Amino acid sequence: MAKALASLRGAKVASILHVGNLLAARQIETFRRDDHTEPEKRLMLAVLEDAVACFQKHIHARTDAGKRMFRDAEDWILEENSRWPFSFQNICTALGLNPKYMRQGLLHWKVKSCRHRQNGRHQQPLQGHVVF
């Protein structure tokens, strides 16, 4: 399924966006360590990592800046416009990821995080698992 994704601020994206198999996790690490990876793909990976980090870190933000960061990340993830080279859709495709699958997983994580919050438990943004 996945040919790409790397670590997200010290935590493996594979542990955040649990892809469900060992082979995918190995492919992710191979992509990260590959010195021959095209610079454009490295940039795309950085953009995707930052968006996921903002989405997860600021989901329950209380400041205007945090709320804006979450909203911007969520809007970018949900946008299905593929005319822009750095759209969520195009980045996922270029990295060998299924954009619909990723989107569904992130939305599932959001719902789970909101439920935890309502129940008085806060789901840590960089340690929660999205199970696809």
Map out the domains of the chain as residue ranges.
7-118
- In the chain, the percentage of residues whose pLDDT exceeds 70 is 62
pTM for this prediction: 0.69
Q: Which of the residues in the chain have pLDDT under 50?
A: 1-12, 15-16, 19-24, 123, 125-132
| Tokens matching residue 94 | 């270029």
| Tokens matching residue 113 | 């995080």
Q: Which residue's structure tokens are 């299924």?
A: 98
pLDDT of 16 reads: 43
